[in-house]
Amino acid sequence: MRHEVRFSGYGGQGVLLSAVILGRAAALYDDKYAVQTQVYGPEARGGASMGQVVIDDEPILYPEVTEPDIFVIMSQQGFEKYGVQAREDAVMLVDSDLVRSRPECRYYEIPATSEAKSTLGREIVANIVMIGALVTATGVVSREAIERAVLDSVPKGTEELNLKALKRGFELGERA
C-alpha cells in the first residue's frame, strides 16, 4: 500500500531528518520501498522547510509526492505553506504548541514541543516525539523499524534521550 507522507515545519526543527528517519525505517527495517525528498528555502534555519517520503510495498515508479495522505506539521508557517490543501481523507498530526490552524481532514493534536521541553528537558527532540506519535497513530512503519532508524540517525551520545523522546511520542500517538 502506497503512503505519501509530508513533514513540514521551520528550519532547525529536524523536519528533514524526520523524513530521512522514516524513509530509512521503511526501506531498511520494514522491507518496504521508500523515496525521500526535501525542500527548504534560502533562509534555512527559521524558514519553512518540508520533507516528503513515499513508502510502498511495491517498487516506486514515480518518486514525487503528489497527494499526501499523511502530514506531520510542526509550525504555523509550515501548515500555511504545505498543509492547508490537505485532502479530506488525509491524516494530519499537528504540533499543538506551534500550529494554530486546524485542517478539514482528520487530525491529531500532539504537544511535541512542550513535551520535549518539560518531560525530556530538550526542545530539540520534538521531531522525534512527533515521529513516535506518527507511528502509533498511523502504523505507517513498525515501532521496531522506527526505533532502529532513530538509533542509526541521531548523533552519538544522544541515543538514550532520543529513545525516550520516541517512546513519549508512542504514548501521545496512542492517546490521539
Would you say residue 168 lies in a domain? no
Would you say residue 118 lies in a domain? no
Rounded Cα distance between 87 and 144, Å, is 30
Structural domains counted in the chain: 1
CB atoms within 10 A of CB 164: 19
For 6, 36, 73, 139, 176, the CA distances from 24, given in Å and listed in that order, are 15, 9, 20, 15, 25
Confidence at residue 39, expressed as pLDDT on a 0 to 100 scale: 77
pTM of the model: 0.94
Nearest to 70 by CA among 46, 53, 57: 53
C-alpha cell at 51: 520533507
Would you say residue 159 lies in a domain? no
Structural domain including 14 reads 3-111+140-153
Would you say residue 121 lies in a domain? no
pLDDT tens-place string over residues 54-94: 999 999 999 999 999 999 999 999 999 999 999 999 999 99
Helix (H) or strand (E) segment spanning residue 132: helix 126-138
Rounded Cα distance between 27 and 160, Å, is 23
Residue type, 55: I
Would you say residue 103 lies in a domain? yes
Would you say residue 158 lies in a domain? no
Residue type, 123: E
For 25, 79, 96, 143, the CA distances from 30, given in Å and listed in that order, are 6, 29, 29, 10
CATH at 15: 3.40.920.10
Confidence at residue 99, expressed as pLDDT on a 0 to 100 scale: 97
Would you say residue 54 lies in a domain? yes
* pLDDT less than 50: residues of the chain: none
C-alpha cell at 176: 490521539
Confidence at residue 48, expressed as pLDDT on a 0 to 100 scale: 80
Q: What angle do CA 53, 173, 110 make, to 5 degrees?
A: 85
Would you say residue 146 lies in a domain? yes
Rounded Cα distance between 155 and 159, Å, is 7
